[in-house]
Copies of this chain bind each other. A is one copy, B any other.
Amino acid sequence: MDFETNSFLSPRLRGMVLFFLAIAITLTALTTSANGAQKKGEGPMFTREGELLMPKNFRHWVFIGAPVTPNDMNNGKAAFPEFHHVYINPVSFAAYRKSGKLPDGTILVKELASVGAKSAVSGNGYFPGEFIGVATAVKDSKRFAKEPGNWAYFSFMGTDGKALAKAKMQPTPACNECHQKNAAADWVFSQFYPVLRAAK
């Protein structure tokens, strides 16, 4: 019964120990891998040249609002004649719920859906049609140290109408200036994103 008098682990005991060790290692590996993958896929990812990769799985992120500014309400010349489905990456949303501030690594995705039907059994209105493009905003105080508010803007809509796999930062005047002047706070139009407001 005294360990010192038993030479080393018997084969059966060694087997049992290895068995539980293997279970523990496997479970740890699975857990770590799942968390790691989620965090990796959730944040903005850049090429070496600083181009933003098209975010994956953003339709599983947190939806925050869907304004629509259709052509027929803007003399046929709407700047953004689509529904905007706006999402935020979940880790940044969680941080925002705690602190009320959007952290570095925040990525907002704006998926564009055309105006589809304008009437249905539920009444006249605007109903989303088909997806036509993706644009994003990324906050990073190091990577975008020179951008106002540390926000940079990207469009994944290619000139041929096809989606781009990666995108260069838009020139500052193209998006940042308007966000800086008109967004409710921190370059984000949270006045139109009830989920973001409710989370604060």
Contacts and interface: CB of A to CB of B under 8 A. Distances in A.
Interface of A: 1-3, 6-13, 16-17, 20-21, 23-24, 27-28, 30-31, 59-60, 62-63, 65-70, 73-74, 78-80, 83, 85, 87, 90, 113, 116-117, 120-131, 178, 181-182, 189, 191-195, 198
A195 B59 contact: yes
A128 B189 CA distance: 12
Contacts of A6: 6, 10, 13
Contacts of A30: 31
A63 B79 contact: no
A60 B126 CA distance: 24
The 7 A-B residue pairs with the shortest CB-CB distance, nearest first, are A69-B125, A63-B63, A20-B20, A66-B66, A27-B27, A69-B123, A3-B10
A6 B125 CA distance: 81
Contacts of A126: 67-68, 126
12 contacts: A1-B7, A1-B8, A20-B21, A24-B27, A67-B128, A68-B125, A74-B124, A120-B182, A120-B189, A120-B192, A126-B126, A128-B193
Given A117-B192, A120-B67, A125-B73, A13 B9 contact: yes
Contacts of A113: 65, 194
A194 to B, nearest CB: 5
A123 B77 CA distance: 9
Contacts of A117: 191-192
Contacts of A120: 67, 69, 182, 189, 191-192
A27 to B, nearest CB: 4
